[in-house]
Amino acid sequence: MPKANPSSVSPAPSPLHDVGSDTPRPTLVRFRMVALATGIAVMLYLHRVCISPAGETIVEDLNIARDELDYVLGLFFWTYALAQLPAGWLGDRYGARWMLAAYLLLWSATTGLMALAPSLSVLLILRMSTGLFQAGAYPLAAGIVSRWIPVRSRGLASSFVAVGGRIGGALAPLLTVQLMLLWTWEADWFALPGDARAAASSWRPVMAVYGGLGCLLALVFVWLFRDRPEQHAGVNADELRLIREGDSAARSTPKAKNLPPPIKALVSSESMWMNCFVQFATNLGWALLVTKLPQYLSETFQTTQQDQGWMQSLPLAAGIIGLLLGGVFTDTATRLLGRRRGRSVALVISRLLTVAAFVALPYCDSAISATLLLSIVGFATDLGTPAIWAYGQDVGGEFVGSVVGWGNMWGNFGAAVSPMFFTFVITRAPQDSGWEYAFLACAAVNLLAAAAALRINAAVPLSRN
């Protein structure tokens, strides 16, 4: 391009060309993109968790058995897990702007349609569809972080997105129970203790409201989001350089668009298999918090549905603290120890904390003490989550969506079998000791996960060769 005549009047510089002395600092568009991903994560978990606190009411309304509801809770995670890799690949190929908005719109629609479910079979189909469409959320969000955030800050950025999920998960029990009670006019809306119980059909309008909110957010996301920094008019050259700083695999062109997922590289990597096992073991125990916790509190401590709402919220809220600390922890450890050890150490410590909490749970003599220990499970689980996300971004290259989707698939197999796992152990354990045996089994699995985390190596990118 020829040089401009100095005497001529120069047009305003493009955001992706060198900026003048009037704009010496990078713009902050990258933070807005991460904020949009965080908002979608809030909706993701609000929709995911809302059916658990409404479980007793749904059982009564549809006249079904409790173990039949377990199938609804568990099969959600099967479709969610199986669709992870395809969803990640679609995000790599077509970008997050339209694909993530489409996923959000579809899972919001299926959540809202649950308000009309006349039977268990219809509820099951809608819930499995919700899992299918939610599969795109985190792989595509990981791609957003890898394309918009420099390497040195990806752990913290990933933690902010995951915090959105935990905020949605923590809100879901409280908000769902209170909205059900509000619809029945049977209780003081803000009263936590008491014997108030929601009417059998009160869960239906709550699902409709949640679905409508998600559809609205999908439209906002399409309006504001762009797939890559160079596509956004608000990004200046300094911010673009900052985003690409230290990333040897900076993606100025979407090379992976027409290539299939790197299956061979995924299945031949020991490090990736260790990462997958860590995610499986983690979710096997953690899924208790979003599926069976109200049942545990009711059977063991005879808590009311209203009390279960805020008790289920606390462990998920504790995860927010774990995520924020975990993001700083893994970024700091990576700077000090390198990617190989920096990512692993956060995972090892988080798994060992989880083991300690599960071992102590059988000795609880009150719902409060059990809730506090389960809050440690929520905190410790999410202390390692940013390292898992950052690992996929470190090794995934142009296929970060596919890589994160592959790991999430195995992790959600753990969540999928979790409700049935707890039921299996509880029904076959000695009388009145089922939950204790289940907690000790979770501790053993997480101890194996801590050992597996030592073999994870984020310093070696996946190779298609």
pLDDT tens digits, residue range 353-397?
Answer: 999 999 999 999 899 999 999 999 999 998 998 888 788 878 877
Cα separation, 218 vs 222, whole angstroms: 6
| 252 within domain boundaries | no
What residue numbers bound the domain in which 301 lies?
29-245+257-453
| Per-residue model confidence as pLDDT tens digits over 283-336 | 999 988 878 888 888 888 988 877 887 888 889 889 888 888 888 888 888 888
Residue for token pair 């071992």: 359
**What is the DSSP-derived secondary structure letter of residue 189?**
T
Is the per-residue pLDDT at 159 higher than 90?
Answer: no
Is the per-residue pLDDT at 153 higher than 50?
Answer: yes
How is residue 307 written in tokens? 């009390």
- pLDDT classification of 4: cutoffs 50, 70, 90: very low
Total domains in the fold of the chain? 1
How is residue 297 written in tokens? 């509190």
pLDDT in the model for residue 40:
95
| 79 within domain boundaries | yes
Share of the chain above pLDDT 90, in %: 33
pLDDT in the model for residue 219:
95
- pLDDT classification of 197: cutoffs 50, 70, 90: low
| 250 within domain boundaries | no
Cα separation, 358 vs 360, whole angstroms: 5
| 324 within domain boundaries | yes
- Which of 209-223, 224-238, 318-332, 395-409 tops mean pLDDT? 209-223
pLDDT in the model for residue 393:
77
Task: Determine the average pLDDT of the residues in 340-348.
Answer: 88
| 460 within domain boundaries | no
pLDDT in the model for residue 257:
56
Query: How far is residue 420 CA from its own chain's centroid?
Result: 21
Of 78, 84, 91, the closest CA to residue 266 belongs to 84
Average pLDDT, the chain: 83
Task: Determine the average pLDDT of the residues in 74-87.
Answer: 85
Cα separation, 345 vs 332, whole angstroms: 11
| 22 within domain boundaries | no
| 6 within domain boundaries | no
| 185 within domain boundaries | yes
Is the per-residue pLDDT at 415 higher than 70?
Answer: yes
**Under 8 Å between Cβ of 421 and 410:** no
Task: Determine the average pLDDT of the residues in 402-427.
Answer: 86
pLDDT in the model for residue 423:
85
Name the least confident of 130-144, 258-272, 342-356: 258-272
CATH number at residue 367: 1.20.1250.20
- pLDDT classification of 38: cutoffs 50, 70, 90: very high
- pLDDT classification of 166: cutoffs 50, 70, 90: confident
Residue for token pair 């792989």: 139
**Got the DSSP string for 242-284?**
HHHTT-TT--SS-TTTTS---HHHHHT-HHHHHHHHHHHHHHH
| Per-residue model confidence as pLDDT tens digits over 90-144 | 887 888 889 999 999 999 999 999 999 999 999 999 999 999 999 888 888 888 8
